[in-house]
Amino acid sequence: MTLDEELVEAIRRDYRTAPIDERDRVMLEFVEQLTRDATRITPSHHERLRAAGFDDRGILQITLIAAWFNYINRVADALGVGREP
């Protein structure tokens, strides 16, 4: 969490070029892959997260949170939540 609006905007534009540490960048790369095609996640993705300092519990938490957001956004999209009638 941050109140730094410039950082938030930089991450929104492209986390790859945002001024974040390598640990956060590795996490976001994993989340992007999970979002785009989770079937292509391999043990090397998990090893990369471990090398960045995440343990199995952290990897599970990242996966569950990202998957939940993906799920709930799709539900909202399917129901038209937030769209003009």
Q: What is the tens place of the pLDDT at every residue in 38-61?
A: 999 999 999 999 999 999 999 999
Q: Is 12 inside any structural domain?
A: no
Residue 36: give the domain boundaries: 22-79
At residue 54's C-alpha, the angle toward residues 16 and 46, to 5°, is 75
Q: What is the pTM of this model?
A: 0.86
User: Residue 27 CB: number of other CB atoms within 10 A?
Assistant: 22
If one counts the domains in the chain, the total is 1
How many CB atoms within 10 Å of residue 53? 12
**How far is it, in rounded angstroms, from Cα 8 to Cα 18?**
9
Q: Is residue 10 part of a domain?
A: no
Predicted pLDDT of residue 62: 98
Three-state DSSP class for 4? coil
- Cα(49)–Cα(56) distance, integer angstroms: 9
Establish if 62 belongs to a structural domain: yes
> Would 48 be classed as within a structural domain?
yes
In a domain? residue 58: yes
